[in-house]
Amino acid sequence: MLNIMRIIHALICVCATLGAFSSSLCYATSETIAIQCSESAETASWHNYEGEKGTQYSLTTQGIKVAGIPNLVLYWTNDMRNLSHYDDIHVDAKCTSPEGHEYWVSMWGPGKTCPCKKGESLSIIMLHPNDPDPNKYLYVATLTTTHDD
């Protein structure tokens, strides 16, 4: 009888431990996103990912895709000197808490990351370069979304 009670006690402990760990598990997804330039500085709009309880966003720059250039431009202030408007490309990201506090990051260069805290929303904007064809520029990044289970 004592052995049966020990086995039952051990099973209860194992189940309780597994239940505690499973409630703290989370999962993450990553996707490549592309943000297009706005037509003008006056009409620049933010691309928003709404914050939710238990959700965390992290944005990491890959580069700039320019029509007519086969590979991503990584260091656009250096690699695009042959383009007349290279220095006008600017990408910002911001995390906004539910209370309205903002954290801004200039997303220049590959690997630059904007890590938001859980529950914060993420917003991204690519400002219009002084170019007659702003649609040829795309900001390319990896968006990682982590969710609590």
Note the pLDDT tens digit of each residue in 88-104. 678 899 999 999 999 99
Strongest mean pLDDT among 10-14, 81-85, 120-124? 120-124
Q: Indicate whether 74 belongs to any domain.
A: yes
Query: What pLDDT is attached to residue 13?
Result: 45
Average pLDDT of span 74-83: 60
Q: How many CB atoms lie within 10 A of CB 59?
A: 25
Whichever domain contains 33, its CATH number is: 2.60.120
Q: Can you give the residue range of the structural domain that contains 96?
A: 26-148
pLDDT tens sequence across 119-148: 999 999 988 677 777 778 899 999 999 998
pLDDT tens sequence across 15-66: 444 444 444 567 889 999 999 887 666 777 889 999 999 999 999 999 989 8
Q: Indicate whether 109 belongs to any domain.
A: yes
Helices and strands, number each (H, E), in the chain: 2, 8
Q: Indicate whether 14 belongs to any domain.
A: no
Q: How many CB atoms lie within 10 A of CB 125?
A: 20
Q: Indicate whether 126 belongs to any domain.
A: yes
Q: Indicate whether 56 belongs to any domain.
A: yes
Q: Indicate whether 85 belongs to any domain.
A: yes
Strands of 67-135, DSSP E: 90-96, 102-106, 113-115, 121-127
Q: Indicate whether 8 belongs to any domain.
A: no
Query: What pLDDT is attached to residue 132?
Result: 75
Model pTM score: 0.75
Q: Indicate whether 16 belongs to any domain.
A: no
Query: What pLDDT is attached to residue 39?
Result: 67
As beta bridge partners, residue 105 has 93
Query: What pLDDT is attached to residue 116?
Result: 97
Is it the case that residue 76 has pLDDT exceeding 90?
A: no
Average pLDDT of span 114-118: 96
